[in-house]
Structure 1
Amino acid sequence: MTRHEPLDLKKAEISGGVATDRRHDSAHKHVTGEAVYIDDMAEPAGTLHAYLGLSAVAHGVIRSMDLDAVAAAPGVVTVLNHQDVPGTNDISPTGLNDEPIFTPDRVQFLGQPVFAVIAETREQARRACTLARIEYEELPALIDIAQAGEDARLVTKPLTLQRGSVGLALRAAPRRVSGRIRVGGQDHFYLEGQIAFAMPGEDQDVTVHSSTQHPSEVQHMVAHALGAPSHAVTVEVRRMGGGFGGKETQANLFAAVAAIAAKKTGRPVKIRPDRDDDMTATGKRHDFLIDYDVGFDEEGRILGVDFTYSARCGFSADLSGPVTDRALFHCDNTYYYPSVRAVSRPLYTNTVSNTAFRGFGGPQGMLGAERIIDEVAFALGRDPLEIRKRNLYGETDRNVTPYHQTVEDSEAAHVIEELEISAGYADRRREIAEFNERSPIVKRGIALTPVKFGISFTATHFNQAGALVHVYTDGSIHLNHGGTEMGQGLYVKVAQIVAEEFQVDIEQVKITATTTGKVPNTSATAASSGSDLNGMAAQNAARQIKDRLIDFATGQYEVPKEQIEFLPGRVRVGNQEIPFAELVRQAYMARVQLSAAGFYKTPKIHWDRDKGKGRPFYYFAYGAACSEVSVDTLTGEYVIERTDILHETGRSLNRAIDIGQIEGGFIQGMGWLTTEELVWDDKGRLRTHAPSTYKIPLASDRPKIFNVELADWGENREKTVHRSKAVGEPPFMLAMSVLHALSDAVASVAGHKICPRLDAPATPERVLMAVERLRAEG
């Protein structure tokens, strides 16, 4: 069952402003099938379909390529390769020119696009791709980062964070432990796969409907590929069927291919790969090898820690630089390290280029922090929660991060204390110990883990947003902003902010598709900053119009500004009340501008990467989860018996949406840490490339008892929109409690004397092997 405070959706439908429990604006369309995704759009007459021809080797040189049979296949209109790209044959988001649309001669991963077929139907294009005859000279391929040496090739510049004298602290520490944890990757597995639909226009113009989290980047990439200015390309996104970071840069390829084909043929072109090809050809969450060396005292206080985070990045940089940076930014989680050094190793491999995924490296960073907590706890024979609490950030001299940002708003202790009581942690730990004594086969485990997640893009220039608000003469409102909707409820939250400003019912606010033709130079909807950035920009636009209406009313009715107040559906002007729509109509007749472009940029943040110092985050979001599991020690199979979550969202803009995000984020994180396993063979073939081989959580995998609460005392100390806090990514890491509960259960077979060192994902096979290892060692 799931428990949380009842949501007053009826009230939300009446008011619809900020802090009401408003349902997702498209929820009813999602469940009835009315929501229009790109593949649901009516296709204009003459629409063509594209399909990608992918490489068959992980590393090699193309010696010959015969596409005659492909071009002659039924329905084929044209075949594209690198020679057909009119502009720049590159879609690298970092500008390193290391990610071609179509590889010209060298193949760097199995599944790399080599050509594309454009045909009358999708099936014809797909079948024609199989007729290509390509000869490769295969070269040695590096697949697994564990095989990389000390001088391995990096795809981008590494980062080092350092504070204090780590070597001295480790040597002087009374106790010291070193080890390694392997952290697996994750496929985004969105409901709607990658897709783009390009419509050619006059001159250089093209309109692209793209399933992307970053319309402006798609616009720029398509423009570069076409050799056209950005103003010739319009990108539109009404909704995505999930993104999770997988559509921040990965949509570039599909949009560019569709646009090139559309301009070459003069006809609309759609491209939608099968799930198998989508999973093979697009990037995923980075898997990591984390090496650690930690020194601590007899009370469990960490004195010094040395981390090396090695990541499988794939054949190109993509977003691996900022992803591995953010992993280091979260190597502390909620813990203070007196001396610390953390180094990233973004490693080149002959696999698909890994990319953004919910948490953007932060989850991998936190797993390093939680592993050393476990190491210290097992070395001392203590409850891991005791060690966690002993090492939390504190006041004054224990509040500086490895990147030299002062933690001014730590809520970790508060969250842990409240959840420890509400979840009955102490009593349940005793009960579990008694159960394990009586049960020789099924063992139970429990863990309570906290989360501290930094909010802001670490690339400072992305922390900006724009919005466009029109008020029409009947009082209805048109809203457009740079954020994209992928099911997370951003659109309804921003609409609530605008409704709140004008004090109108949310039904009067029209939510419109994100388009580069209305709001330019947008940042990706990522880094949990969608509501923070776009909400503030929309609020800014609305307030400009409000100020004009107030100025108009002041002059029209000869009353001071102090006597003008926006009330629900009306405006009080002096001693009279005027319907909002009527005041708007009067203002229009007086030639008052009723449209405004809003803008917002995040204050206070700065970051010097070369020095490893600054304030990359505007604030931190906090939460904690307590999970209990049962493990069958004969098979390694397990059940998640119960999870209790307490998460603070500041002054929540919409509790219904936020609770949904927390529940969904936790389950997705649980999948990453338990069932979702990516496997490449030694030839570089992705073996887990379909629902039959890649296991996301099922409804039956959720905790039997699932309690989710929002911290009602939370308020953002920083001046965010309505003092709310981001809720997109932070809940994902709450699933660490499941991994550590499994570790606790496994440890019980050896009397909690040995750290299980359970790698992720903790599949039943890994759990069983850990059980057998501990039995042998114990």
Structure 2
Amino acid sequence: MRKLIEANNQQSTQKVVHTSVKHESAIRQVQGKANYIDDIVEPQGTLYAAVGLSSCAAGDLEHLDLSRVRESEGVVDVITIDDVPGHKDIGPVFKGDPLLADKEIKFYGQPVFAVLATSLTLARKAASKGEIKVNAQPPTLSVDDAHTKQSFVRPTHRFGQGDVEKQMQEATHTATGRLSIGGQEHMYLEGQVSLAIPDEESRMKIFTSSQHPSEVQKLVAEVLNIKLHHVMVDMRRMGGGFGGKETQAAQWACIAALFASRTQRAVKLRLPRQTDMHVTGKRHPFENEFEVGFDDTGRIQATRMRINGNCGHSPDLSDAIVDRAMFHADNGYFLGASDIVGHRLKTNMVSHTAYRGFGGPQGMIMAEALVDKIARAVSEDPLTIRKRNLYGESTGTKTPYGMDVEHNLLPEIIAKLEQDGRYWQRRKEITDFNSTSPVVKKGLALTPVKFGISFTAKHLNQAGALVHIYTDGSIQVNHGGTEMGQGLHTKIAQIAANEFGVSLDMIEVTATRTDKVPNTSPTAASSGTDLNGKAVQNACLTLKDRLAECFATLQNCKEKSSEVRFEAGNVVLGENKMAFADVIQAAYFNRVSLSSSGFYQTPKLHYNRDTGEGRPFFYFAYGAALTEVSIDTLSGEYSVDSVDVIHDVGDSLNPAIDIGQIEGAFIQGMGWLTTEDLRWNDEGKLISENMATYKIPAIGDTPKHFNVSLFGRKNAEDSIYHSKAVGEPPFMLAISVWCALKDAIASLANYRVDPQLDTPATPERVLHAVMALQSKVAKDEELA
């Protein structure tokens, strides 16, 4: 791969995009030279903060004695919510997230106070000495309990198409199902960390590991009661984010900034891993239900679905997350007449937050669950039922929220994977194997992905950029996206280099800073390259127009400026050619501006929440995965033996980075569905609180056969160079692992019964599903 990348780097600049280029920080990261927040050289006199946490999940705060905290060695300052000069609530969209506990305890481990000391160790030691007395109340810890109490963080939303009641009554068959879907810890390599440095006249510099610098800027300003222009947030790179730093990095930046403002000294707040796991939100656990009506061929005629998101104690981003779960409850299938209801349940848990897929996985898995249920009921292979219900002319093209599915690539992708992966041959081989193997059973599943790309909050679909060209021809690019390891800066550099026809070493993408590009959207919703790439291109086009006019004038051909080309390090007009750097020099001496901002807003988006109809997405990204597993029916242990993926990224800007994203997303999705088991005790305390009690996939969990292919079809919409987003969509490819496990278990009943397998499908849950199915088979045989 290295030789390939080096060769690609030496190709003409016309090949800067749509080719594999190594990640811009790869060498520095491998060598340990890439700087993260904790690597920044601290100013002289830096102080260190820590937080004191509650030890119950619900109740009124009766008494808070911090005398021992203040007397502890090295302590400089201690704050509670009463010390906040400005806004006390830092809820990102809706209120409900106090900076520190305000009279009420909302979840086990809620920060109640913060302490500042001369060393990190002394700060954490002092934080453990607070005496917090609470009038404890019974906590709400489950979706069912929240429904009983009518406890919601936001109003219920509903949409659908057609007459569900009539179609359900007329359906030849009906089936129901319920699925408990576990949450997921982000487990980023770099934990939550912020460094606040006070400046003159109430100004504040913030270095933070955040996916949303502009929101951090806003909330710090509001907490300190100062104007936004007095706060500058700098974010060079994160050691992973996955959504966990979209909103929930702000609290620690605000606390650090408040201490820095009070002491006029630099303050760092870095959470230890165990505290991080207690005080930050997870992927939302869901408890979902469905009812589906279908005919003898397995064609869906009507669908009811109830989506129940466990949101924790506050709204955070839950309204949009449950919306996205609802939007993806169809996956790639026409659901007939439909009724989709989404509840946002309030519980005494940490406020759950964004996570790769943003609710999409918790909705999409329901579509696969109901298709499996239909397949077992009509004694057909699940792939047959999947293909039979795909969006198309023979079924329908309108989603439950009224958006037409255009440019649907799923039939082609599935057909190709079906053939290349030898699905039907392997199905026969596996069926034959299972008929003669008494203990080990194999399973096979091919599942699709249809994922909508855009923020569902319309105003977030915008981006800005700033491009400077210096007199030596080197180019500096700044944009509103953040780099968390996904290669965004690399792709942005490729776009800028391609526009100016120069080599990549002429481009420098600088740290994301709120004083360069203002009012940025978070790097989320898989839209980082779509939005910021277009904004950068827009700035480049403005500069190219200026340079083209200047160059054409120099050639006495001003009227032909539209014919000027930028290629291979040169600026060309007809037979006239000049090195790019020389043109820049000439433009400077001719007083041509060599700096430009750029802007982009995603077109075509609209959604009417009152009617439940619209177009919330610019386009769909598609994909399919074929997975084979083996399970031990005596222990429930299993292995993922083989995975083949074909995924749609449009005309890939950087195939190597895109394939890496697909591989990583699949493994992370596999972890969500198999090993990552979040557990709380009866008091509401998280007990899967460290790497010893919470298992993410390791290198040994990687399938021995793991092939990823890019589909290679240009995006029909006008995205940046007709590429497609790649961050979130491949996460849902891992649903094929869950379906394959169910397929293996179903073989125990000759594929006539769809097993109940909640997620994560740990070996314990697989064993319980096996035993339940064996018990059912035995009972049926006895009755027969």
| TM-score category, normalised to shorter length | over 0.9
* The one of 233, 236, 239 aligned to 1:235: 233
Quote how far apart the aligned CAs of 1:350 are.
0.2
Q: Which residue does the alignment assign to 1:20?
A: 19
Name whichever of 551-560 and 17-26 sits farther off: 551-560
C-alpha distance in 2, partners of 1:385/1:192? 40
Q: Which residue does the alignment assign to 1:256?
A: 254
Q: Which residue does the alignment assign to 1:758?
A: 757
Letter aligned with residue 548 of structure 1: R
Q: Contact 1:48/1:121 (CA < 8 Å) preserved in 2?
A: yes
C-alpha distance in 1, partners of 2:549/2:576? 16
Quote how far apart the aligned CAs of 1:775 are.
0.2
C-alpha distance in 2, partners of 1:624/1:321? 28
Q: Contact 1:313/1:354 (CA < 8 Å) preserved in 2?
A: yes
Letter aligned with residue 521 of structure 2: S
Quote how far apart the aligned CAs of 1:732 are.
0.2
C-alpha distance in 2, partners of 1:548/1:580? 13
Q: Contact 1:215/1:524 (CA < 8 Å) preserved in 2?
A: yes
Name whichever of 152-161 and 288-297 sits farther off: 152-161
C-alpha distance in 1, partners of 2:764/2:616? 39
Q: Contact 2:548/2:562 (CA < 8 Å) preserved in 1?
A: no
C-alpha distance in 1, partners of 2:618/2:655? 22
Q: Which residue does the alignment assign to 2:727?
A: 728
Go from structure 1 to structure 2 and tell me whether the alpha carbon gap of 1:546 and 1:753 turns closer, same or farther (over 3 Å shift).
same
C-alpha distance in 1, partners of 2:41/2:256? 17
Q: Contact 1:374/1:384 (CA < 8 Å) preserved in 2?
A: yes
Q: Does 1:288 align with 2:286?
A: yes
Quote how far apart the aligned CAs of 1:409 are.
1.3
Quote how far apart the aligned CAs of 1:438 are.
1.3
Quote how far apart the aligned CAs of 1:41 are.
0.8
CA deviation profile, 1:547-600 (whole Å, cap 9, x unmatched): 000111122211222542212101113322100000010000000001000000
Q: Which residue does the alignment assign to 2:585?
A: 585
Go from structure 1 to structure 2 and tell me whether the alpha carbon gap of 1:9 and 1:172 turns closer, same or farther (over 3 Å shift).
farther
Q: Contact 1:248/1:524 (CA < 8 Å) preserved in 2?
A: yes
Q: Which residue does the alignment assign to 1:39?
A: 38
Q: Which residue does the alignment assign to 1:505?
A: 503
Letter aligned with residue 633 of structure 2: T
Letter aligned with residue 739 of structure 1: W
Matches within 5 A, 1:606-645: 606-645=606-645
C-alpha distance in 2, partners of 1:394/1:35? 48
SS at match of 1:91: coil
Q: Which runs of 5+ in 2 are unaligned?
A: 778-784
SS at match of 1:146: helix
C-alpha distance in 2, partners of 1:621/1:280? 34
Quote how far apart the aligned CAs of 1:5 are.
13
C-alpha distance in 2, partners of 1:564/1:684? 66
C-alpha distance in 2, partners of 1:6/1:246? 35
Q: Contact 2:308/2:343 (CA < 8 Å) preserved in 1?
A: yes
Matches within 5 A, 1:426-575: 426-559=424-557, 560-575=560-575
Matches within 5 A, 1:108-127: 108-127=106-125
SS at match of 1:182: strand
Q: Which residue does the alignment assign to 1:186?
A: 184
Quote how far apart the aligned CAs of 1:740 are.
0.4
Per the normalisation by structure 2, the TM-score is: 0.97
Letter aligned with residue 139 of structure 2: A
Q: Contact 2:95/2:315 (CA < 8 Å) preserved in 1?
A: no
C-alpha distance in 2, partners of 1:395/1:455? 23
SS at match of 1:545: helix
Aligned length: 773
C-alpha distance in 2, partners of 1:24/1:689? 32
Go from structure 1 to structure 2 and tell me whether the alpha carbon gap of 1:147 and 1:100 turns closer, same or farther (over 3 Å shift).
same
CA deviation profile, 1:324-374 (whole Å, cap 9, x unmatched): 000000000000022000101110000000000000000000011110001
Quote how far apart the aligned CAs of 1:12 are.
2.6
Q: Contact 1:503/1:570 (CA < 8 Å) preserved in 2?
A: yes
Q: Does 1:404 align with 2:402?
A: yes
Letter aligned with residue 546 of structure 1: K
C-alpha distance in 2, partners of 1:60/1:6? 61
Q: Contact 2:402/2:613 (CA < 8 Å) preserved in 1?
A: yes
C-alpha distance in 2, partners of 1:655/1:436? 38
SS at match of 1:644: strand
Q: Which residue does the alignment assign to 1:691?
A: 691
Q: Contact 1:467/1:541 (CA < 8 Å) preserved in 2?
A: yes
Q: Which residue does the alignment assign to 1:200?
A: 198
Q: Which residue does the alignment assign to 2:273?
A: 275
C-alpha distance in 2, partners of 1:363/1:171? 30
Quote how far apart the aligned CAs of 1:753 are.
1.3
SS at match of 2:61: strand
Q: Which residue does the alignment assign to 2:650?
A: 650
Q: Contact 2:555/2:576 (CA < 8 Å) preserved in 1?
A: no
SS at match of 2:154: coil
CA deviation profile, 1:637-689 (whole Å, cap 9, x unmatched): 00111000000111100001000000000000000000001001110000111
Q: Contact 2:147/2:345 (CA < 8 Å) preserved in 1?
A: no
Letter aligned with residue 65 of structure 1: L
Q: Which runs of 5+ in 1 are unaligned?
A: none
C-alpha distance in 2, partners of 1:563/1:381? 64
SS at match of 1:430: helix
* The one of 265, 278, 303 aligned to 2:301: 303
Letter aligned with residue 644 of structure 2: D
C-alpha distance in 1, partners of 2:223/2:138? 31
Q: Contact 1:158/1:321 (CA < 8 Å) preserved in 2?
A: no
C-alpha distance in 2, partners of 1:679/1:382? 37
Q: Which residue does the alignment assign to 1:175?
A: 173
Quote how far apart the aligned CAs of 1:13 are.
4.8
SS at match of 1:155: strand
Q: Which residue does the alignment assign to 2:156?
A: 158
Name whichever of 391-400 and 319-328 sits farther off: 391-400
Go from structure 1 to structure 2 and tell me whether the alpha carbon gap of 1:253 and 1:562 turns closer, same or farther (over 3 Å shift).
closer
C-alpha distance in 2, partners of 1:123/1:167? 63
Quote how far apart the aligned CAs of 1:149 are.
3.1
Quote how far apart the aligned CAs of 1:30 are.
1.4
Q: Does 1:10 align with 2:7?
A: yes
Q: Contact 2:141/2:347 (CA < 8 Å) preserved in 1?
A: yes
Quote how far apart the aligned CAs of 1:150 are.
4.7
Q: Which residue does the alignment assign to 1:220?
A: 218
CA deviation profile, 1:379-421 (whole Å, cap 9, x unmatched): 1111110000000000387100011001111111111000011
Q: Contact 1:9/1:21 (CA < 8 Å) preserved in 2?
A: no
Letter aligned with residue 303 of structure 1: Q
Q: Does 1:678 align with 2:678?
A: yes
Go from structure 1 to structure 2 and tell me whether the alpha carbon gap of 1:563 and 1:616 turns closer, same or farther (over 3 Å shift).
closer
C-alpha distance in 2, partners of 1:453/1:149? 29
Q: Contact 2:626/2:643 (CA < 8 Å) preserved in 1?
A: yes
CA deviation profile, 1:97-152 (whole Å, cap 9, x unmatched): 21100112110100111000100001000000111111111001011213333552
C-alpha distance in 1, partners of 2:199/2:89? 23
Q: Contact 2:146/2:152 (CA < 8 Å) preserved in 1?
A: no
Quote how far apart the aligned CAs of 1:6 are.
9.6
Letter aligned with residue 199 of structure 1: I
C-alpha distance in 2, partners of 1:28/1:306? 51
Q: Which residue does the alignment assign to 1:83?
A: 82
Q: Contact 1:296/1:304 (CA < 8 Å) preserved in 2?
A: yes
Letter aligned with residue 61 of structure 1: D
Quote how far apart the aligned CAs of 1:79 are.
0.4
C-alpha distance in 2, partners of 1:89/1:13? 54
Q: Contact 2:5/2:22 (CA < 8 Å) preserved in 1?
A: no
C-alpha distance in 2, partners of 1:421/1:6? 32
Letter aligned with residue 349 of structure 1: T
SS at match of 1:707: strand
